[in-house]
Every structure is written in structure tokens, then in C-alpha cells.
């Protein structure tokens, strides 16, 4: 785990300092999209899934897309300019982003101080007014404007690739 790992409170405090409107909802833990569908209820905005990936050259990627979007890992490398992709291990996830499986979120880039991970954002998702992600734990969902995600990523020093997935 990184030595300075942010907590959900640290994250929400940063969003306030960046003047990114955020609403956080507590719910039962959701480890999968299916479990998320059961707890998201009436939370407005696009609910998302996040894939922590490693390519054949050792580059790390965080693919963020609408929860129901099918991501073809065989075609994705061409779209993002990567080598062949596979899922990153739980150990690599913890060491790089400071989170556990089931809590993968673009907000975890707050812990990627060395900027090893390249975020990949779905174009359609980013055209929507509100998006939802776990605030570093999977028993909460935080809603922010899509442009707020870009502001957050800019603050962390991560330049996202926005592609049609």
C-alpha cells in the first residue's frame, strides 16, 4: 500500500476544496455491478464500472465506463494504444491505488502519486451531467458532475484518454 493513502474523508474534503459538488450515499457493500444495481436505487446519474488493467508492456490502465457497457478486452488495446490487456492483481491494485478489489474507482487515482495508471473514460459517460463512483470504499456512492471528474483528474496529474468504448 502507498505510504500516504487517502481515506474517503480525505477524498471528500479534496472535492470540496476543488469546488466539485458531491453527494455521497451510504449503502450495503457492492462488489459487482449486479450488487450495485440492488443498492443504487434512486441515486441520480450514470452508474459506472471500473476495470484495473495491466498490459503486456507493464503499463497500468483504469477503464471507467457505464455499468452496463460491455468492454471487449481483445479490441480495447487498439482503441487506447496499449499492448494486450489483462486484469491487474489485487496486490498490484492495493500497492498502486491503495484500495481493495470491489472498490475500484477513478477517485483512487488520488493515491497514485507516481502516476503509473492511465485513466480511460468512456466518451458517452463523460457527456452525461452526473456520474457515480465509490469514494474509495464500496459501501458508499458519490455523485459528481462529469466535468468535476476531469477537474479531479487534472488535480491528481492524470491525463485521461476519452474514447468511445
> pLDDT tens digit string along 64-105?
999 999 999 999 999 999 999 999 999 999 999 999 998 999
Query: What is the model's pLDDT at position 2?
Result: 42
Considering Cα of 84, then 90, then 95, then 96, what sign does the dihedral take? positive
* Angle (CA) 149 111 135, round 5°: 50
CA dist., res. 85 & res. 76, Å (int): 8
Query: What is the model's pLDDT at position 31?
Result: 79
CATH level 3 topology of 8-159:
YbaK protein (3.90.960)
C-alpha cell read off for 53: 488493467
pTM of this prediction exceeds 0.75: yes
Query: What is the model's pLDDT at position 42?
Result: 84
Least confident interval from 4-18, 38-52, 104-118: 38-52
C-alpha cell read off for 63: 477503464
Amino acid at each position: 500500500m502507498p505510504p500516504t493513502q487517502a481515506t474517503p474523508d480525505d477524498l471528500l474534503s479534496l472535492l470540496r476544496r476543488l469546488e466539485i459538488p458531491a453527494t455521497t450515499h451510504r449503502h450495503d457493500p457492492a462488489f459487482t455491478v449486479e450488487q450495485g444495481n440492488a443498492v443504487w436505487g434512486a441515486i441520480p446519474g450514470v452508474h459506472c464500472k471500473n476495470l484495473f488493467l495491466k498490459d503486456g508492456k507493464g503499463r497500468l490502465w483504469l477503464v471507467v465506463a457505464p455499468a452496463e457497457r460491455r468492454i471487449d478486452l481483445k479490441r480495447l488495446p487498439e482503441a487506447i494504444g496499449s499492448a494486450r490487456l489483462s486484469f491487474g492483481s489485487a496486490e498490484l491494485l492495493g500497492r498502486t491505488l491503495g484500495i481493495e478489489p470491489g472498490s475500484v474507482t477513478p477517485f483512487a487515482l488520488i493515491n497514485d502519486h507516481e502516476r503509473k495508471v492511465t485513466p480511460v473514460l468512456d466518451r458517452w459517460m463523460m457527456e452525461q451531467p452526473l456520474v457515480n463512483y465509490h469514494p474509495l470504499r464500496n459501501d458508499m456512492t458519490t455523485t459528481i458532475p462529469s466535468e468535476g471528474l476531469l477537474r479531479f483528474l487534472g488535480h491528481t496529474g492524470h491525463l485521461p484518454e476519452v474514447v468511445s468504448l
